[in-house]
Structure 1
Amino acid sequence: MLAELFAAAAHGCRDRSPLTQRLLADAADDLSRGGVTARIMAGAERDREGSVPGLRFAGAVHRLVLEGRAPALAKHYPSVGGQPDLPRLWEDALPALNEYTALLRHRIGATVVQTNEPGRCAPLYGGLLVAAQEAAKAAGRQVPFCVRLLEVGASGGLNLRPHHVAYRLDDGTTLGDPGSTLVLDPEWTGRPPADLTHRLRVVGRAGCDLQPVDVSTEDGRLHLSSFVWADQLNRWNRLRDALDLAAADPVKVDRAAGPEWLAKHLARAERDVLTVVWHSVVWQYVSPADRAMGRAVLADAAAKATPTTPLALLVFEPRREIDYRFALMLKIWPAGISLCLGVGVGHGIPFTWDVTPWE
């Protein structure tokens, strides 16, 4: 039942975004009563849990605010300078919901949730350092491998620049690019099992998505911004800085399905380069058929990997067996390395480094 999915989404952000929680809880009640939310969500009644219809609704409403279409609602949204008054939120939302019912229904039906959270660069950067150094050790090399990064489900490609981000640690150390316009406080507990004095060298990067977001356009920037919970200003500011970095260092994201795209890029191995296949918080959106095809493509490439053309899989995805926290997991071929490097929240910050076998 759609109202139950909305209520579950509200519960999921209860400790992180009171504004989104209240909006979705009130929308769930409105759905149950057959109110305006039911008209907005018409056609989505059979959406599965993984498509997160509640978050698509919240994103569409947030975009109205960002576009200046809902001034009464905007006063509740910190992303545009507002201050939430939760008891009055739904009352002030109703005029916009009624006025823009058709627009909201169209946007909710035509989009998928794409947070493209730049905070995930923090665990990714540490994981890439580990991968480059462990693959080098397995090959008997003194110097870590250069990295070619291939991202599946890349959205706007904001996480394809991990080497151009500054990571400011709590001991005063800065990793990555100290002069970057995007500065992250990773909030790490522990450290990656790697020599952090080695600089990550990225010699190639590419990404694909079924619905890539062109972050060079106002529409693309609004699309990604709408999915940031409006009362999480740290995330909001990170996204602003990540969009500025993307403008200075553009990377094209191909419109393609993951398995076919991966097969094309993995058909070409580069000597003395570690190829890293990467994805984060996309697995729930991938069909079972594409998951199986992706695994087969990766297995074929892994069987062909050599010590001088190694292959790695680095993923940041939820794991139910660890209370739905998000785990950073690494496999390297032909070294036979398979590790869970640590766990964190879905937005990548904070993160705890704790190496265990990936079984």
Structure 2
Amino acid sequence: MLAELFLDASRACEARSPLTHTLLVSAAADLARGGVTARVMAGAECDRHGTVPGLRFAGALHRLVLEGRAPELAEHYPTAGGEPRLDTLWDAALTVLHEHTDELRTLVTTTVVQTNEPGRSAPLFGGLQTATHLAAAEAGRRATFPVRLLEVGASGGLNLRPHRIAYRVDGTTLGDPGSPFTLDPGWTGRPPVDLTHPLRLVRRAGCDLDPVDVSTEDGRLHLSSFVWADQVARFERLQAAVALARLDPVPVRQATGPEWLAGQLARPERDVLTVVWHSVVWQYASPADRAMGRAILADAAARATPKAPLALLVFEPRRTHTAGRYEFRLLLKLWPAGLSLRLGTGVGHGIPFTWDTQPWD
């Protein structure tokens, strides 16, 4: 039932976005009684859970606000300079839903959720540093390996330049001190390696089923619309990441993950650590693509050598013992070393993050 999917999405943001939570709870009630939300969502009645129709609905409304075409609702949206008044939020939303029903329905039915969170570059940076140090030790090298970074489900590619970000950690700047994008990673603990060592990315590439071109205003608005509108710091972080991406473009190819990865991993690359990376993507992949991706990675791992190592670095949710709760784990596998580590845990947006290296079974 569509209303239940809206409520499920509302629970996921209840603690962190009262605005989105209130909007989705009200929309679910309106759906159940056949109100205007049902007309906006027409055609999405049989959508599966993984397509997150509630967040597509919230994103469509946010997009109109960001474009300046929903002034009444904008008064409630901090990303547009407003102040949330939760008791009257739904009344303002109803006005927009009635005035823009057809356009909102088109947005909902033609877009996919894209939360290209640049905050995930913080655990990625630490994970890459760990992987390069471990691979160098395995190969008997004094210098760490340069990295070839391959991202599956890259969206707009905002996490393909972790070496170009300035990370402020306890008064120290890691990464690129001259970067226009400064990030407070919110770390507890540290990776057990020298983080001041320069991280060298010599090649970067990404794929996505629906890549977003962040060099365009349409692409920027698309990603911005999926930020919860009362999370201003997260919104500003995205704008800074988009600005950096425009200065340092990395094209994202439209392709399925297994198809693309098979081509990228066809031959080992000597004197480079190849890292396959993905974050909050696994839940959207079909069982067939998951199986094929595992097989392709296993085949590439069998060809890895100490001088042409391969790593899998992922930041994905795992259900906890608390009902309905997930923790996001940064996991690393390294071949041919045979290492398998859980580097730490955090929240879905990558910040904050706690480093705690343990074996990953």
TM-score between both structures, scaled by the size of structure 2: 0.98
How far the C-alpha of 1:269 sits from its partner, in A, is: 2.2
Map Cα deviations across residues 152-204 of structure 1 (whole Å, 9 max, x no partner): 000000000000000000x2111100111111101100001211121111100
- Cα distance in structure 2, aligned partners of 1:172 and 1:327: 26
Aligned to 2:176: 177
Q: For residue 341 of structure 2, what is the aligned residue in structure 1?
A: 339
Residue matched to 2:358:
356
Which residue does 2:110 correspond to in 1?
110
AA partner of residue 326 (structure 2): Y
**Partner Cα separation in structure 2 for residue 300 and residue 247 of structure 1:** 35
Matches within 5 A, 1:199-348: 199-321=198-320, 323-348=325-350
Match of 2:244, SS? helix
SS in 2 for 1:297: helix
How many residues are treated as equivalent by the alignment? Answer: 358
Pairwise CA distance, 1:268: 2.9
State the one-letter code of the partner of 1:311: L
Distance (Å, rounded) in 1 between the aligned partners of 2:256 and 2:9: 27
- Mind listing any 5+ residue stretches in structure 2 that lack a counterpart? none
Question: What per-residue deviation string (whole Å, max 9, x for no partner) do you get for residues 249-301 of structure 1?
Answer: 01100011110100101113221100000000111111111111111110110
Q: Which amino acid aligns with 1:56?
A: R
Share of identical aligned residues, percent? Answer: 72
1:66 corresponds in structure 2 to 66
Q: Deviations over 1:225-270 (max 9, x none)?
A: 0001111011011011101101110110001111010010111322
What secondary structure does 2:108 align onto? helix
Larger mean CA deviation between 264-273 and 128-137 belongs to: 264-273
Equivalent AA in structure 2 for residue 327 of structure 1: R
Q: Which residue of 1 aligns with 2:129?
A: 129
1:270 is paired with a residue whose SS is coil
Deviation string, structure 1 residues 122-143 (Cα, Å, up to 9, x no partner):
0000000000000111111111
Q: Distance in 2 between matches of 1:249 and 1:154?
A: 15
Equivalent positions of 1:153-168 (< 5 A) are 153-168=153-168
Opposite residue 137 of structure 1, the aligned amino acid is A
Residue identity matched to 1:44: A
Q: Deviation of residue 357 (structure 1)?
A: 1.4
1:20 aligned onto 2:16: no
Q: How far apart, CA to CA, are the structure 2 residues paired with 1:126 and 1:265?
A: 24
Deviation at 1:94, TM superposition (A): 0.8
- Structure 2 Cα separation of the partners of residues 104 and 259 of structure 1: 33
